[in-house]
Structure 1
């Protein structure tokens, strides 16, 4: 359940499709066959991938020059001479440079463009024999054939590549589409075929990995801050147990409402780490204070849970109420506000519900044999007070 926003392009620019699946590893002819195999399979089995196309389109009329190597060798014409002649007359060759008035200019040798209007112009080209020095018609050494080729030959990560592009049907996650293409390519294509992603699909993959790292880093920072405050590793662990439960509630709300995990919901999940930990802090901190006053462990825990119930509910209700305008707002940007509001409301609600049950039980099981943050201070004060005076 993930999606990635694609920025709209300005007028005159080609809008990239969200699915950018790259095939690489062979010659362009092999890549074209692999592309056709994969596209035909997708069209037959997955209608949710729409408007399939590639950036390798054989629509450019071209001529293939096939050299008769035996005849060329018998007449003393080398393949290099044939290639260099075609390069000069049909393209152009930089032969030298000259300097005039302090400026350097390239000298390019090329054929007359006016005599190259048709493929038959190749019949007028002649090459010189290295053996006899005579001019020999090129048409007697080569065979011309028409074919349709691609106007551009693309590479990806320095290898020959063809990129397959597609649009997604409504409700079809980009991550699921990429996984489907990778599995289909592994099943249908030979082992030497390489796959990768580009464009919006590459950004999506990178953002997905960054999301997990961001959430883990946020939870770790909160845990370390709480550990420093409570002077314990057990108490922060009890508090942080509500964070995954709160995120589960937020993700469930996104799923039930038909929304996606995008950049806005990721912001909401990061905010939820602190909001979910707040309720556990109220219970654990007050229980520690009661234990510092000398109350028994179970009595302090029960009184802290009962006493802090009202503050927990009040802060939860006000936080959830603050998210309502985000959910019901309209106009430009309403979609992004809706996602953040849904995450906050559902996450805080589930965190509050689970806090009332999970935190007291976890505190009773894990923190029974731990001291409160003030225990060390009281012990030092008692030892100083009971120490014999000089």
Structure 2
């Protein structure tokens, strides 16, 4: 239970469910959002590009958090759902569809693909469900490679037209950053609304004990399917934004390894926390950029092994982070942050 300052209390259920409840919280939130909007003006193009990657990744990982963190449905196919959204949006854009329509339709295409595995989740769970969702990666890759190349590019990849809204072309890092930021804010607000609704409570009940949830009258099958639909939709929206940002997509960009990275993000940030998914995205993407930045240095020191060392470093960072957090802080960074906040509010009365 969250601890609030003395004198702050709820007088209604709506007030009790509010995310922002004090004036200081409103000020902090406003300053943080303002910082996000002025970030491209303060920092250079390189950091803005990193911000674009973080925003797109955060959307996809928030969807994974709903499926896995809240509903407890293990999935190793989030990168495949992202790829479906990317290729669907790219194909629509190449066919002349408006850009503003390609983003949600990319999410819908991914949700339809995710529906297949949501149905499977109704019958299996745990390790077997994880193995089933791995099939999403292979189905996605085989479909893209074998479908007509003029539609999806096959194994050669697919070029994507520049994003545009009306007469405004979004071709610079800054313009794309603001697009990604606005969409990310919308999707995160939607995620908070979902997990705090009756559907979110049903997800948590199914995660804790699906048999007991069914006895209580919750539609367990419907909750599992809906969790996969929502998670895949978020991944599809992120994939559509990625396609418009990178301007060239291929199946190699959406691999099983990427899905494992996404799971690492929610483990590090905190399973069952929307903010934790965002924090995990920032931490892991930041470490990825750091390891990549060391590439030129490694190439100079080890000219014969520089590229291999970077890839090995990525694997080492991923495995090390997952192992460290599972042992030291299995509930993630947000759990540790919440404990620090509670300790600060109780000080100097730690016995309270």
With the shorter chain as reference, the TM-score category is under 0.3
Larger radius of gyration: 1
Task: Name the structure with the higher strand share.
Answer: 1
TM score, norm. by length of structure 1 = 0.21
TM score, norm. by length of structure 2 = 0.22
Which structure's relative contact order is higher, taking Cα pairs within 8 Å and 6+ residues apart? 2
Task: Name the structure with the higher helix share.
Answer: 2
